[in-house]
Amino acid sequence: MSERVCTACGGSGLTEHELHTIDLDENGHQNPVTHRWTGACSGCAGAGKIHIHE
């Protein structure tokens, strides 16, 4: 078993996440809302590297 730097986050363990939702305002109009945050990489679970099973 060996380790490789996670290519999804470049080894930092953090990536930008983006989520699009549709919110309704008080008049019932739909407003697209984009949520962005920096969080644990989904490729390596925040470890920054991945284990390769060989």
Residues binding Zn ion: number (CB under 5 A): 6
Identify the CA nearest to 40 among candidates 24, 27, 6, 26: 6
Tokens of 9: 């986050």
Q: Footprint of Zn ion on residues 22-41 (CB under 5 A)?
A: 41
Residue 43 binding Zn ion, by CB under 5 A = yes
Residue 8 binding Zn ion, by CB under 5 A = yes
> Would you say 21 or 37 has its CB closer to Zn ion?
37
Tell me which of 36, 38, 44, 51 binds Zn ion, using CB under 5 A.
Answer: 44
Identify the CA nearest to 6 among candidates 53, 50, 54: 50
Across-strand partners of 18? 36
